[in-house]
Each structure stands twice: as C-alpha cells, then as structure tokens.
Amino acid sequence: MRNLLPANRPALVLAPMQDVTDLPFMRVLGRRSLPDWFVTEYFRVHPDSRLNKYILRSLSENQTGRPIFAQMIGRDIPDLIRSAKELAGYPIAGVDLNLGCPAPVVCRKDAGGGLLRHPGQVDEILGALRDAVPGRFTVKTRLGFHGSDEFPALLEIFRRHSIDGLTIHGRTVADRYQTPVQPDYVKMAVETMPCPVIANGNVVDAETALAYSSQSHAAGLMIGRGAIRNPWIFAQIRAAFLGESPPAPTHRDLLEYIMELSGELARETSTYAPLPHIQRMKKTLVYICDGIDPAFEHAIRRMKTPEEFHQLCHRHLDHDTPLQSLPPENSRIFCGFEDLLKRR
Ligand SMILES: Cc1cc2nc3c(=O)[nH]c(=O)nc-3n(C[C@H](O)[C@H](O)[C@H](O)COP(=O)(O)O)c2cc1C
C-alpha cells in the first residue's frame, strides 16, 4: 500500500459501506471529488458463497481511474482463500479483510468484528491469507470487541503477518457508532506497525480530518458517512492539507448530487420498480438529510413514491445557500466528532 500513498499529504480513502458505496455511488462521487482509493462493500464468504455479481461490477467496471480494494468478510479459511484467489482475477489493488462489522447477525457467526473475540482464530486466518494472497493484503479492524485494552494483543498479531496496510476504526465493536473515536490507539498502531496505518471514524469535514490526522499521525484517513453527506469532502480535505481553496457547494449542488445518484441507481437496476428504488435512496438520504431541516428529514423517512421524493428534494434544496460544513452535534447519525475538535 505504501506506493499508493501521496507524497505531500495523508491518503484519503472511501470507506466500504454496504448498500451504499456501489458502482453508481462511486461514479457520482467521482464527478465531485475522488478518494485516493476505494474499498468495496464486503463480499460475504462462507462454504456456499459465490462472489456477489453486483459488487464484482465495482471492480470490473471501475472507471474512476482510482484503485479499488476488494473486501471480504468471513471466518472459514478455505473459503476465504478460494474467494481471495478468485478476486485476484479482477482488477483489484488488493484484498482487505473485515474485522470490524458490529452487526449482531455477523458477530454471532464469529465473522467481522465478532472475530476479535477469538485472537487465535484471527492469527490463523491472517497467516493463511497472507500466504495465499499474491498482491496487497490489508485488514480493517476496530480496537477490540469489548474494550480497547484488547488492542495491543491484536496489534501483535497484525504485526506477525506482514500485512500491507491496517485501517483502524477507532472504536470497539461494543461501541458500534455512538462514541467518540480514540486517536491515541491509532497512534499506538502507527508507532508499532511496519505498514501504513489508516485512521477511520468521525471524519465529517476538513477540520475533523486535520484533527484526526494530527492526533494519530496516520498515513491516511478513511471516510464513510461524511462522504455520503458531502461528496465534495475529499477535495475539501485535500485543499485543507495543501493550503488551497476548497469547493464550497450549495444546497442546489446537493440537489443535483441526489438527483444524479437516483438516476444512476435507476439505470443500474435491470428490473426498476419505484418502491425498492425509493427504499434504496432512503439508505443514502438518511445521511444527507441530517441537519438540513427537521421537516425535510421527517418527510424523507416517510416518502413512498418517486414523485414525493422529487418534490421534497426540490422544495427543500433548490436554493443557493451554502451547505453547512459540519453535521449537527449529537445527532443520531453523526455523533462524537466534536471530541476530535476539542482535543486539538
Ligand atoms: C451503512 C454502512 C455500511 C457499512 N458497511 C461496511 C462494510 O461493508 N465493510 C466495512 O468494513 N465497514 C462498513 N461500514 C463501516 C464503515 O466502513 C466505517 O468504518 C464507519 O462508518 C466509520 O467511519 P465514518 O465515521 O467515516 O462513517 C459501514 C458503515 C455504514 C454506516
């Protein structure tokens, strides 16, 4: 991963997000601001799994010009090896293993974040995958399952297997998304890991990016929900690091982004149907609407038809007021990011 890092600033990476960071999202994001690389939403791996065809298209039809890593989630070593070898046949920058997903259904199966309860198993999986993956092999983890005191022992394991990169979502699995992140633990990894470390969690604008970067000294920042809310965020952060002037989007720019994404998603669907389309858009809009106007947010959550969707978006967003750089403090969707700013 080292040779993917920019020379004059931290790398900026789009976080993998299931049902959001697909090919249409990558295209629409890319027309506004590009990360230095992408990571796919996870491929589920188990004894009967086949590589998901829809996610594969993010690899084979990626025309953004930026590399993309393929992420896997699972615990069965032969199946992880089989899937990693199949993925190597696609144009990928590397294979990433998910050790952070907190969804109960995933953790119950001892996959994703659930694996962090079993360091011995993590050790075996990393050893086997490191031997099997010919190219870059990276890991995305949390600080532990129950507590961050588990982290030093996890780092020991990561260090043993010559991984090419380590992304750290600076919370435990038990924290889910509701707490501040802990840059000190990311810094501990930066100081002890031989590979580049990427800091993740709660970067919502250029200021939070600068703060997380200076507190962790990470080689890069991975941004998830903040990039759904604000697809100009990569250009804004890049400008902040380089001392250039950032793009300043308006509500009307946001409206265009939403309409473009809706159009791209509708075109991708072979059997377009209005209700599933609206449900899919809601998955994205929940991150965009937060803090714009409570009435807009309320109505978006309840909308049922494409006509309602278009009317609502035009009514609330078709104006030239600049967008707020920060989401509201203490919102349900974005919480804890103020902590990064207070610690500066
Ligand atoms: C809707 C959604 C889906 C996610 N799916 C994945 C996933 O497939 N793989 C993964 O490693 N993390 C996944 N995550 C976690 C994000 O990659 C990221 O670690 C987390 O959102 C914290 O970063 P952020 O504060 O910048 O959003 C998901 C998060 C969200 C909100």
Of ligand 1's listed atoms, the one at least distance from the Cα of 73 is 9
Dihedral (C-alpha) 163, 193, 70, 63: value to the nearest 10 degrees?
-120
Q: How far apart are the first and last CA of the chain?
A: 28
Question: Ligand 1: does its nearest atom lie under 6 Å from the Cβ of 340?
Answer: no
Indicate the top mutation candidate among 12, 13, 18, 42 to test ligand 1's pocket, ranked by most ligand atoms within 8 A of CB: 18
DSSP E strand stretches across the chain: 11-14, 38-39, 43-44, 68-73, 94-99, 136-141, 165-169, 197-200, 220-223
Q: Residue 197 is encoded by which pair of tokens?
A: 């470390």
Report which of 137, 157, 73, 69 is spatially closest to residue 107, judged by C-alpha positions: 73
Query: Are the C-beta atoms of 176 and 102 separated by less than 8 Å?
Result: yes
Q: Say yes or no: CB of residue 327 within 6 Å of ligand 1.
A: no
Rounded distance from Cα 315 to ligand 1 centre (Å) = 30
What DSSP state is assigned to residue 181? -
Confidence (pTM) = 0.97
- Asked if residues 200 and 222 have their Cβ atoms less than 8 Å apart, the reply is yes
Return the SS3 of 4: helix
Quote the distance between the C-alpha of residue 4 and its chain's center.
Answer: 18
Structural tokens at position 228: 């759904």
* Mean pLDDT in order along the chain per 10 residues (344 residues): 94 96 97 98 97 97 97 98 98 98 94 97 98 96 98 98 97 93 98 98 97 98 98 98 96 98 91 90 93 92 94 97 90 88 80
Tokens found for residue 120: 């011995």
101 is catalytic: yes
69 C-alpha to center of ligand 1: Å? 15
Q: What is the reported pLDDT for 118?
A: 97
CA 286 to chain centre: 16
* Cβ 74 under 6 angstroms from ligand 1: no
Nearest CA to ligand 1 atom 14: 17
Q: Which of 283, 232, 284, 277 is nearest to 253 (CA)?
A: 232
| pLDDT (0 to 100) of residue 316 | 96
User: Are the CB atoms for 35 and 234 separated by under 8 Å?
Assistant: yes
Inter-CA distances, 270 with 54, 264, 279, 323, Å: 11, 12, 16, 34
| CB of 200 closer than 8 Å to CB of 167 | yes
Specify the pLDDT at position 2: 87
241's CB contacts (< 8 A; 6+ apart) are 8, 9, 10, 209, 210, 213
CB 234 within 8 A of CB 34: yes
**Residue 309 CB-density burial (10 A; 0-12 exposed, 13-18 middle, 19+ buried):** buried
List pLDDT tens digits, range 87-110.
Answer: 999 999 999 999 999 999 999 999
Q: From the CB of 169, is ligand 1 less than 6 Å away?
A: yes
Return the pLDDT at 344: 66
Spacing, Cα 300 to ligand 1 middle (Å): 22
Question: Tell me, what's the pLDDT at 271?
Answer: 82
Does residue 168 have its Cβ closer than 6 Å to ligand 1? no
Which among 101, 107, 195, 289 is annotated as catalytic?
A: 101
Comparing CA positions, the residue from 281, 185, 268, 175 lying closest to residue 228 is 281
Ligand 1 contacts CB of residue 15 (under 6 A):
yes
**Beta carbons within 10 angstroms of residue 44's beta carbon:** 20
- Distance, CA of 230 to CA of 288 (rounded, Å): 7
Return the pLDDT at 288.
94
Q: Is the Cβ atom of 175 under 6 angstroms away from ligand 1?
A: no
Protein residue closest via CA to atom 1 of ligand 1: 17
